[in-house]
Amino acid sequence: VFRPALFKLESLKHVEDNILVKRKQYFAKLPQTAAQDYKIMFILLSSAFSTSISNTGPEHKVWPFDFGAGIDGQRELRKGTSWLSWYILAQGPDLFWQQWWSLPHDDPATRNYIRDRAIEAFANTPEKLSDHQRPLARNFQEFVNVCARLSSEFDQSNPVRYFSQYAEHRLRRREAGLPPATEILGHVPFMVNFRCPEEIVKRHEAVEQERNISRVSQPR
C-alpha cells in the first residue's frame, strides 16, 4: 500500500543522507589546518548558546531540541549530538549574520532571532525526521575530528583553552602597563539565551538555602 506521508518522510531522509555524503566529500579535500579552523570556529560558536542560571522567567524559552532541556546543551552542541548542531549546519552563517549584524540590535523582536528561528524550525520538523537528522550531525562532527586529527574528547569539544589564551593576553597587557583593549561590540546581542533547566534551578536554590542556613548558624 502506497503511503504518501511515509514516502515523503523517507525521501527527506534520503536527501539528508546525500547531503551528509557531499559534506564529507568536500571536507575530505580540505587541508588539516582548515579542518582544525572549522573545529575551533564551531567550538567558539557554541559558547554563544546559553542556559545560564540567570535565564529564568517567561521571556526565556525552553531548549526543546533534545532530552534534558539543554542541561548540557553547549557540550552536546559542540559534540554534534544535539539537533541544534544539524540546524546550524543546515542554515549556515546567515543565521548569525542576521542576529549579530543585519537586524536591529535594540529591537526585542529580533534580539533572539537565532533562538526563535531554531525553535520554530524544530516545531515544524516531524519527530521521525529530527531523530534522523540528529545522528547525521554527530556523524559529521566525528568526521571533522578525524580530518582535524583530534583524538581526545577534550580536544574535540572543550573551549576552555581558547578563552584561557584570551584571558592570558589581557593579563599580559595589564602587566605591561597597557590599557585594556577597547570593547566596541558590547551592543551586539551575541548570546542565544534559553531558559535554565528546572533541575539546575532547583539545585541552585538548594545550595543557596544551605548557605543561608550556614550563615545564620555561625556565631557572631
The answer as to whether 214 is a domain residue is no
pLDDT given at position 219: 67
Ramachandran angles phi, psi of 50, nearest 5°: -125, 135
Q: What is the pTM of this model?
A: 0.82
The answer as to whether 216 is a domain residue is no
CA–CA separation, 9 and 12 (whole Å): 5
Domain that holds residue 80: 4-176+187-209
Residue with cell 534522523: 132
What does the pLDDT look like over 54-83, one tens digit per residue? Answer: 888 888 999 999 988 888 888 899 889 999
CA–CA separation, 173 and 100 (whole Å): 28
The answer as to whether 73 is a domain residue is yes
The answer as to whether 46 is a domain residue is yes
List Cα–Cα distances, 173 to 122, 168, 178, 202, in angstroms.
44, 9, 5, 40
Specify the range with the lowest mean pLDDT, choosing from 34-38, 116-120, 162-166.
162-166
CA–CA separation, 196 and 47 (whole Å): 15
Mean pLDDT of 182-211: 83
The answer as to whether 129 is a domain residue is yes
Helix, strand counts (H, E) of the chain: 10, 2
The answer as to whether 220 is a domain residue is no
CA–CA separation, 46 and 5 (whole Å): 34
Supply the DSSP symbol for 193.
E
Q: Output helix, strand, coil percentages for the chain, rounded to the nearest 5.
A: 65, 0, 35
* Counted domains in the chain: 1
Is the model more confident about 131 or about 211? 131
The answer as to whether 50 is a domain residue is yes
List Cα–Cα distances, 58 to 36, 54, 62, 118, 152, in angstroms.
39, 12, 9, 18, 39
Torsional sign, CA 106, 109, 110, 114: positive
The answer as to whether 54 is a domain residue is yes
Supply the DSSP symbol for 29.
T
Residues contacting residue 117 through CB under 8 Å, at least 6 positions apart = 91, 95
What does the pLDDT look like over 140-176, one tens digit per residue? Answer: 999 999 998 877 655 555 666 666 777 788 888 888 9
